[in-house]
Amino acid sequence: MHQVTLMDIVIHLAPHILQPSLTPEKQVSIAIMKLATPGSLCYVTSQFSIGKSMTGDVIQKVCLVIQKVLAKCFICLINPQAWPSLRGGKSG
């Protein structure tokens, strides 16, 4: 992931992340790394030099914030019946 992309995500999430001992950038990075790689929690904790408990807490909180804040902006489910062009232009 490019740093610009990470910082854009951080800008959207930072006002909603409340873990004072870690920067928002670090918290988002921890969560994204865990979501993007098949590595274990121990691997993520060693990469960021923090404990398992805090890592798990950060991942859970950031994921909830992503769901709450970003899902509405970036995830759009469509109703196939409302889009006739998806079915070859036929309606009905």
Residue 11 in domain: yes
Per the model's pLDDT, the better-predicted residue between 19 and 2 turns out to be 2
Count of structural domains within the chain: 1
Please compute the mean of the pLDDT values over residues 71-91 and round it to a whole number. Answer: 65
- Write out the residue range of the structural domain in which residue 57 sits: 3-82
How far apart are the C-alpha atoms of 69 and 65, rounded to whole Å? 6
Biggest alpha carbon–alpha carbon distance for the chain: 58
Residue 53 in domain: yes
Residue 25 in domain: yes
**Strands (E) located in the chain:** none
User: pLDDT tens digits, residue range 9-55?
Assistant: 898 899 888 778 889 999 999 999 999 888 788 889 999 999 999 99
Residue 69 DSSP label: I
Question: Cα angle at 31 between 28 and 36, to 5 degrees?
Answer: 120
How far apart are the C-alpha atoms of 55 and 49, rounded to whole Å? 10
